[in-house]
Structure 1
């Protein structure tokens, strides 16, 4: 099943999830316990990451298969350009098909720490290259791409970011999942700019409930997302008064309000960056009550 068909059939907002498979198989039982608990959200699908250069790609393959056949959740496997070749991507997709997994999220991926790495040396340099490859050679697969409400940190302008988003979409992607953000106006402006340029694919907003000051600082440094100053000040104040628990509660309340505004404004669903935290996601959904 292509996920886009499930999205189009929805009559009300839905949840989708992102999971980060543990590298060590000894942690898999705990991981799948989390997956089972989050089935309570009735997720429309779940994306499954893998490490840079496909370093945990075999784990992704096995986990996506188990997620579909044992947990009953439609999985979407990540693909990245780093260290990839057409042969490797085609081989991985064929293995996904054998596992009855038919959806991927096409990403350029993060630059590795290796100082010798160069994007010009990569056979597949852009997410649009992956989209075109999958779309042309594997038409039975559904394809999603990432969107950046505040623009990708490497984009010189918002216009450039919009252009490259369109390139990815025109290459054959079905829908967009956004990078995490904290200002709902960025999402609605991003969607408005896409629509004004004739792009009408579904855009699913990505939401990350804040766990602690240290975790959000680390995540922001990795993804380049923005955080409103007032929110950051409220998190610092909460941390001073009650530590991580107070920060988590402040972040949870903020995420609940975000989701309500997004759904009320017409977002088709909510993509939760779970951090493999079942309690957090279940509490969030209980408060939102989609």
Structure 2
């Protein structure tokens, strides 16, 4: 642990982000817009982040398929207009196998070759997931089903601080292993705020024989109250020191954004120092914070994209 933390520090007198080579791969998550104004905000974020040449971008899928059409339309537009490799989220919630097959086939016809396969959250807050009588009971089952439909590239979810419904941390790792055994190509983690949390999780996965790529999910905090709510739902812990840094900034959006960028950039620099070269950003359909962090990590657009 000490070795990893020491790695995050630059030599004395050298700025923390000086001359990083930009040898990182990034991906970005968006959510489908509900209005014309939100559509404009989303497309502004897509076009501003596209020059960073993400490995892929992903678009979320509402509970019970509530955003199915909007997710499909957003993914299709990103592929057609932004020319980016786009992944569509897909869940098991309130969907039969035939319905999921129809959605997957529609994605394939639209040029989607990458799916983020998730079990999905219960439609009732605080409720328990119940599989559709004719549906898939888990994300691992969904992965296997999708692989049988078409040769999709598949990403799945991972939880460094353990899924809230898991019986234990070990059972959660076993569940992730089942997803990989079913054919998943990589995992994207739930957001977290401690580098050591990720390093310890990575070590635990290696000890369990899991050697597939694990992308840390990075959430730059643009809305503190919203982040607290999201963290409570998914079991992520916000450190006390981080909570204190945002005190008094609710009515100061400019200062809040600077603080958020500083915290997230230092966090990513510590992950980078520990060997991480792939980062997945939860953008919340805003470009500024994610772009700034990528810039600090040395990533630059090239040619006429600059």
TM over 0.5: yes
Distance 2:274 2:129 in 1: 41
Distance 2:242 2:188 in 1: 23
Map 1:67-146 to 2 at 5 A: 67-113=78-124, 119-122=130-133, 123-138=135-150, 140-146=151-157
TM-score by length of 1: 0.89
Tell me, what secondary structure is at the counterpart of 1:180?
Answer: coil
Distance 2:129 2:219 in 1: 31
Moved over 6 A (4+): 114-117
Distance 2:126 2:169 in 1: 29
What runs of 5+ residues in structure 1 fail to find an aligned partner? 1-10
Equivalent position of 1:50 in the other structure: 61
Distance 2:125 2:188 in 1: 28
Equivalent position of 1:280 in the other structure: 289
Map 1:243-254 to 2 at 5 A: 243-254=252-263
The 10-residue stretch of structure 1 (277-286 or 94-103) with the greater mean CA deviation from structure 2: 277-286
Tell me, what secondary structure is at the counterpart of 2:249?
Answer: helix
Q: Which one of 196, 218, 234 corresponds to residue 223 of structure 1?
A: 234
Equivalent position of 2:18 in the other structure: none
Rg (Cα) greater in structure: 2
How much does 1:121 deviate?
4.4
Q: How many residues align?
A: 277
RMSD: 2.1
Q: 1:114 to 1:181 in 2, by over 3 A?
A: closer
Equivalent position of 2:249 in the other structure: 239
Distance 2:178 2:262 in 1: 36
- Work out whether residues 212 and 248 of structure 1, in 8 Å CA contact, stay in contact via their aligned partners in 2: no
The 10-residue stretch of structure 1 (64-73 or 245-254) with the greater mean CA deviation from structure 2: 245-254
Q: Does 1:173 align with 2:172?
A: no
Q: Deviations over 1:95-133 (max 9, x none)?
A: 111111111011111111289976154522211111110
TM-score by length of 2: 0.84
Tell me, what secondary structure is at the counterpart of 1:225?
Answer: coil
Distance 1:209 1:137 in 2: 36
Q: Which one of 253, 262, 266 corresponds to residue 271 of structure 2?
A: 262
How much does 1:207 deviate?
0.4
